[in-house]
Chain A
Amino acid sequence: MADTRPTASIEAVESGLAAQGYIASRQIATAVYLSQQIDKPILVEGPAGVGKTELAKAIAAWRGMKMIRLQCYEGLDEAKALYEWKYAKQLLYTQILKDKLGEVLGGAQTLGAALDQLHTFGDVFFSKEFVEPRPLLQALEQPNGCVLLIDEIDKSDAEFESLLLEILSDFQVTIPELGTVSAVAPPTVILTSNSERDLGDALKRRCLHLHIGFPEQRLEERIVESRVPGISQTLRRQMVGFIHEIRSLDLKKLPSVSEAIDWARVLVLLQANELDHEIVKDTLNVLLKYEADIEAATPQISAFIAKASRQGVFS
């Protein structure tokens, strides 16, 4: 039962994602590895901007699969997520085929006979040709498998969650007129949530639950390194240290990884060699998105820079 082979595979996931520029912590890599091994969707929770959506993109790029994205919002329903009948096409075809129908039914003497003849043709207008597949159905129909990203599931209604259950547990959907459509190849499903509302237990039970928080300092440095290659090592260490100090403040919106990367880009553009009070003050609006937050952080800038540079000396 216990062998060392899977450990190597978790590392393979880690390096595979790293090749796509996504530096995954070991927990993330374990989750991705397990989801492939036991065919389970991953439910990713965490604050905005820590790379939940990026993870799905990285997996798709790494494994060379198509990514299908379903953005959730309030009021999202079956017709927009799963499938829809092409009403216009159905209508058009009935118009075009009117004459043909006349020919076919021409021989029938009575209304009853005509109906009987019509029944022998079956449900032509409710066949696969008239189904407009929406993201969920598309994902099941991909011959080579795909990465299905169901983004911000917490924004959708509770009813939509229930709709997902069949897909998440059995990778199939039931269309009343056609029957059950099973996945050609089980897709890798990633659901993301910002915890705006509590998701149902039934949904959570069907998923691996992965929480991505703010990364540790080392990990974040590696992330910035992979995303912004032009940045010098000292500056990188300083800025990541500075961001970690900022996160200890009680702010409305803490800066996350995406803000860190943006800031690193800005600093490289401004050709900064190291952090100083002026440049931080001028670029603080990249990190913090609320006026009140900026006001709260401004008096601390010098102290934080000093702390961040000190850390750099010892490590």
Chain B
Amino acid sequence: MRENLHRFFRAARGAGVRVSPAESIDAMRAIAQVGFADRAILRDTFLLTLAKTQDEKRALGDCFDLFFSQPEPQQEASEQSKSDEQREAGSNPQADAHGDTSGGGAESENVGPLAQMLLSQDRTAISTAIANASGAASLSDIRYFTQRGIFQTRILDAMGIQRLRDDIDNATANNPALAERLQDALTGLRGTVRDAVSQALLLYGREEAENLRNEILRNAPLARIEPRQVEQMRSLIRQIARRLRERYSKPRKRQRRGHLDVRRTLRRNAAWGGVPFLTAWKRKHRDRPKIVALCDVSGSVARVSDFFLLLIHSLHEVVDDVRSFAFSGHLIEVSDILDKKPPEEAMQEIMSKVGFGSSDYGNSFADFEDGWMNTITPQTTVIVLGDARSNNLDPRADILRRIGERSKRLVWLNPEGRMTWGFGDSEMPRYATFCTVVRQCATAKQLERAVSDIVASYQ
């Protein structure tokens, strides 16, 4: 039974529930108490000991149902098969169900154990044999869908398909009817094994498949992902946001040991006549990032801006204050829209207000200077996201210079590759002189690194 539990833990990990060794030990101890008799209680026990969030509980519940809808557990199965054998041996002493030597011969032909099993149409024996063979082929190691074929072959091999083929070959000559029956049975068996392998893939392979997909997504250019991938990308961005939050939301007060705060120490110990029982140490506060984001939402940059805004606005716990602005021909503030509405609707509203124009960086910067220049303080990081293609209009780099002077840092993220900066109507080289950092930002990976660096500069 222990083997089965381990397989279940593995399946649970595949379903996205983080099961640590300590938790699996807890689960084992708990199960030793409640036993296997009642499946509902067993399920509750797993949910209590392994899953630690509501989402995990749901995933684990599904996984449990899927797992225990499988053929019989292995150990019980082997016991069962043993008892089957004994029963068979008792009722039909001639039948040699075990071993390869075909000494006896229940049928007129000398056929192998697999063939006998198929002919007797003993369904439990067959599924037992499949379960045992799956164990032998370590089916729970399956990770990718491309491995299905090899596992099917391994399982069938372990069940002794070679012998069955020989039997069929022999029978074709001597007993065509028997050969036909065996051939049909073999086809059926193949189907059953295929189903078992597919189910195993569903159980154990999910984690790897997801990792692979995420890795591809992380390196895909944001501007050109397909509509069906947008949802996946959003969840990936949320993961990134969670990772950044975990990394940077650690306590911001670091004690500076060694510097006594004399004033606070005296005040705190006033009750004891100034005898310093309690000491107070000086502390240094670290600022939380303040971010002003200016995002181009014209044409191809829009998609990137979408994900960027989603990321920035998911960082509440790390970032103190985010003001975001969107522009193409002119500029508006979009912080409220993004905070109040779900991302899809918010983006639609923003696009309907300012999107789809041809971009005019000069005019948009002028809008910003008129309306919101005072939002920039010496603690602010200003992030401009855009391709700097201003359709040959006045770039107004002087405003960008003033923004750079007022702020702590001015970061420009450009979704285009470095090769194209400065060609055509790109004003990137001119803007770059006033920026603290200019970096390419076309994929989720680059986006994560860019935002991570910005937040890290406040630590």
Contact = CB atoms under 8 A, between A and B. Distances in A.
B102 to A, nearest CB: 39
Contact of B30 (A27, A34, A88): A34
B272 A87 contact: yes
B26 interface: yes
A266 interface: no
B35 A30 contact: no
Nearest to A79: B278
Nearest to B23: A205
A158 B34 CA distance: 34
Contact of A27 (B44, B51, B52): B44
A192 to B, nearest CB: 15
Contacts of B26: 38, 40, 208
A204 interface: yes
Interface string B167-194: 0000000000000000000000000000
A230 B36 CA distance: 41
Nearest to B242: A198
A155 B57 CA distance: 23
A205 B48 contact: no
B300 interface: no
Given A1-B1, A34-B45, A158 B251 contact: yes
Interface in B22-55: 22-23, 26, 29-30, 32-38, 40-41, 44-45, 47-49, 51-54
A26 B35 contact: no
A30 B41 contact: yes
Contacts of A201: 18, 52
Contact of B35 (A3, A33, A40, A209): A3
Interface in B126-183: none
A7 B38 contact: yes
A205 B54 contact: no
Nearest to B249: A158
Nearest to B50: A209
B52 A210 contact: no
A4 B35 contact: yes
A31 interface: yes
B51 A209 contact: yes
Given A38-B26, A38-B30, A40-B26, A7 B37 contact: yes
Nearest to A43: B52
- Residue among B40, B52, B53, B251 facing the most chain A CB atoms (10 A cut-off): B52
A6 B22 contact: no
Interface string A13-57: 000000000000011001101100110100001000000000000
Given A7-B37, A7-B38, A37 B30 contact: yes
B35 A38 contact: no
Contacts of A31: 44, 48
B219 interface: no
- Tell me if B's interface is mostly helix, strand, loop or mixed: helix
A63 B41 CA distance: 23
A247 B50 CA distance: 29
A159 interface: yes
A91 interface: yes
Contacts of B47: 27
Contacts of B272: 87, 91
Contacts of B68: none
A32 to B, nearest CB: 10
B372 interface: no
B121 interface: no
A150 B168 CA distance: 70
B207 to A, nearest CB: 18
A2 interface: yes
Contacts of A40: 26
Given A34-B30, A87-B277, A210 B48 contact: yes
Contact of B36 (A2, A37, A38, A205): A2
A69 interface: no
A10 interface: yes
A209 B46 CA distance: 10
B250 to A, nearest CB: 8
Interface string B11-25: 000000010101100
A209 B48 contact: yes
A211 interface: yes
Contacts of A38: 26, 29-30, 33
A6 B34 contact: yes
A3 B33 contact: no
Contacts of B45: 30, 34
A141 B49 CA distance: 28
Given A1-B32, A34-B30, A87-B277, A26 B40 contact: yes
A40 B49 CA distance: 10
Nearest to B28: A38
Interface in B266-324: 271-272, 277, 317
Contacts of A91: 272
B35 A211 contact: no
A240 B34 CA distance: 33
Contacts of B48: 27, 30-31, 34, 208-210
Contact of A30 (B23, B44, B51): B44
Interface string A190-231: 000000010001001100111100000000000000000000
A4 B37 contact: yes
Given A205-B20, A208-B49, A37 B35 contact: no
19 contacts: A2-B35, A2-B36, A4-B35, A4-B37, A6-B34, A7-B34, A26-B41, A27-B47, A30-B34, A30-B48, A34-B34, A34-B48, A38-B26, A87-B277, A201-B18, A205-B20, A205-B52, A208-B30, A208-B49
Given A3-B37, A26-B44, 4 more contacts: A30-B41, A205-B22, A205-B23, A208-B30
